[in-house]
């Protein structure tokens, strides 16, 4: 890119006290905007603060009207502007341009994402603009012919030509595309690293090898070895280094090649990370994420197949997240990285290659899911099925089978094990009067056991049938494929349990014949 792809602010607009920096797609490209004469793009359309619309342009445009209060020339510049701001990424597709309307003296953060996950972050303050809460700002459309573009005065006129967003545009903003869980995790890491220079990744084969499961693909080339750190096979060592760096304000993302190996580092996870905030009377925050594949994969034996949800979910001071879909993976990982407390992020190896539909909202770099809030994946009235990670997919398939038999199952994707969304679970059980819990972990002291206890304590009077728990077998995971399948929940197990809860199962004698 050359300077002709940028534009000078119109007359009367303030300039940045320090130059705003564009984080380019190609290494080595680093361009300043300050005090440059530039031209507008030949064609474009961009969105101002209301609805969310994907779009493409061939130029990078920044225009503002008002005073610049502060700016930061770090990667992913944060610029505070008083007035109206428009920002468009160069040669990429914009995910969203988000900004809720609010009364005066309002400040909101806007982040723009691109196809290759390059982005710029802005904080825009509105003071004295008279923007009412119910009023939506509109779309600014511009089409400029020729290479010379508009004059500075012409741009100023264009900036004032706003019109309200119509309700017809709302459907366009909800258009979906497919994204794998792997790409969702990769994009979340990329955007958070670009937004915050304190975020870095550390683990075995995360750099040169691009990650054992390619979750960190491309990050070493983009951010360098100081922020994408390959380590020896020493989980206790690099987990401890990560916790120490978090004590000093960095935000490490520690990758375990599998959470079975986190047992080598469990002292740092629990004693060093989880307890430090309490033991320091709140003086020490530990903003660290421990992430990697959890639970059984396929044919990897007893030592590589354990689910650690119940292990870490029992520890005060930790937050434990369990994504299922690409939306979960992207939104929860961003939330984990931004959280001031240690987060255990349990992924599933067999889900990495699965594709899920994602909306424009999910693709926005500002997208973030709340920690501790479950999602009702499928509404129903006859039986509640709770699940997390890969088992959510099994529960949804079981619900489809049950529907053919006239049973309308409600499926809850837990998303978070600690904190557990007890309110959503109990509200569902009070509606359906039945509960089936599903997990791949061991049955004793499991996640399902905790959910059952919560429902018995808070909603016992609403139950019309005994609670059903579906879990992994209470044995070390077999290596033989046929025995391994028997050791973990299958779709038919969930169907049978739901039918039992609804008193629709066949008598034992009939099923035996």
Assess contact for 41 and 59: CB atoms under 8 A: yes
What is the C-alpha separation between 261 and 142, in angstroms, rounded?
Answer: 55
Number of Cβ atoms within 10 Å of the Cβ of 43: 13
What is the C-alpha separation between 463 and 452, in angstroms, rounded?
Answer: 11
What dihedral angle (degrees, nearest 10) is formed by the CA atoms of 493, 490, 454, 325?
-140
304 catalytically annotated: yes
Rg (C-alpha) for the chain, rounded Å, is: 26
Q: Which residue's structure tokens are 């890969």? A: 390
Q: Which of 304, 349, 377, 440 is catalytic?
A: 304
How many distinct helices (H) and strands (E) make up the chain?
16, 24
What is the C-alpha separation between 391 and 276, in angstroms, rounded?
Answer: 33
Number of Cβ atoms within 10 Å of the Cβ of 447: 28
Q: Which of 235, 255, 440, 484 is catalytic?
A: 235
**φ, ψ dihedrals at 462, nearest 5°:** -95, -10
235 catalytically annotated: yes
Strands 55-56 and 93-94 turn out to be: antiparallel
What is the C-alpha separation between 340 and 318, in angstroms, rounded?
Answer: 11
Q: Which residue's structure tokens are 């029992």? A: 314
Q: What share of the chain is helix, strand, coil (3-state, %, to 5)?
A: 30, 20, 45
Catalytic positions are 235, 304
């Amino acid at each position: 890119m050359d300077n002709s792809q940028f534009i000078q602010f119109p007359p009367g607009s303030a300039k940045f006290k320090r130059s705003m920096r564009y984080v380019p797609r190609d290494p080595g490209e680093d361009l300043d905007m300050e005090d440059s004469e530039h031209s507008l793009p030949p064609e474009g359309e961009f969105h101002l603060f209301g609805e969310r619309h994907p779009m493409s342009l061939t130029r990078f445009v920044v225009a503002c009207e008002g005073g610049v209060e502060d700016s930061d020339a770090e990667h992913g510049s944060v610029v505070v502007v008083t007035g109206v701001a428009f920002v468009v990424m160069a040669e990429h597709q914009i995910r969203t341009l988000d900004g809720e309307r609010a009364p005066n003296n309002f400040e909101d953060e806007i982040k723009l994402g691109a196809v290759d996950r390059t982005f710029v972050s802005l904080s825009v303050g509105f003071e004295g603009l008279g923007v009412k809460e119910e009023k939506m700002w509109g779309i600014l459309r511009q089409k400029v012919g020729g290479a010379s573009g508009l004059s500075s005065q012409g741009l100023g006129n264009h900036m004032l030509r706003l019109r309200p967003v119509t309700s017809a545009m709302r459907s366009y903003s909800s258009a979906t595309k497919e994204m794998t869980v792997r790409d969702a995790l990769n994009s979340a890491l990329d955007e958070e690293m670009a937004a915050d220079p304190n975020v870095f990744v550390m683990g075995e084969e995360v750099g040169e090898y691009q990650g054992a499961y390619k979750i960190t693909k491309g990050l070493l080339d983009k951010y360098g070895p100081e922020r994408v750190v390959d380590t020896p096979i020493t989980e206790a060592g690099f987990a401890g280094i990560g916790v120490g760096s978090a004590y000093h304000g960095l935000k490490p993302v520690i990758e375990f090649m599998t959470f079975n190996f986190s047992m080598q580092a469990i002292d740092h996870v629990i004693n060093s990370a989880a307890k430090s905030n309490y033991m320091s009377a709140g003086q020490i925050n530990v903003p660290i994420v421990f992430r990697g594949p959890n639970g059984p994969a396929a044919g990897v034996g007893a030592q590589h197949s354990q689910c650690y949800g119940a292990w870490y979910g029992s520890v005060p001071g930790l937050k434990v997240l369990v994504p299922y879909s690409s939306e979960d993976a992207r939104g929860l990982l961003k939330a984990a990285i931004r959280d001031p407390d240690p987060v255990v992020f349990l992924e599933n190896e067999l889900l990495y290659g699965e594709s899920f539909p994602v909306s424009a909202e999910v693709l926005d770099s500002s997208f973030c899911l709340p920690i501790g809030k479950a999602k009702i994946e499928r509404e129903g009235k006859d039986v509640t099925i709770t699940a997390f990670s890969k088992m959510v997919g099994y529960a949804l398939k079981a619900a489809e089978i049950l529907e053919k038999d006239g049973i309308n199952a409600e499926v809850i994707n837990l998303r978070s094990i600690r904190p557990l969304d007890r309110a959503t679970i109990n509200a569902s059980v009070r509606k359906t009067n039945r509960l089936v819990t599903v997990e791949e972990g061991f049955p004793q002291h499991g996640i399902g056991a905790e959910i059952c206890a919560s429902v018995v304590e808070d909603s016992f009077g609403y139950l019309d049938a005994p609670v059903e728990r579906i879990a992994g077998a209470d044995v070390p995971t077999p290596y033989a494929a046929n025995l391994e399948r028997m050791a973990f929940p299958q779709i038919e197990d969930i169907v049978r349990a739901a039918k039992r809860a609804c008193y629709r199962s066949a008598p034992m004698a009939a099923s035996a014949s």
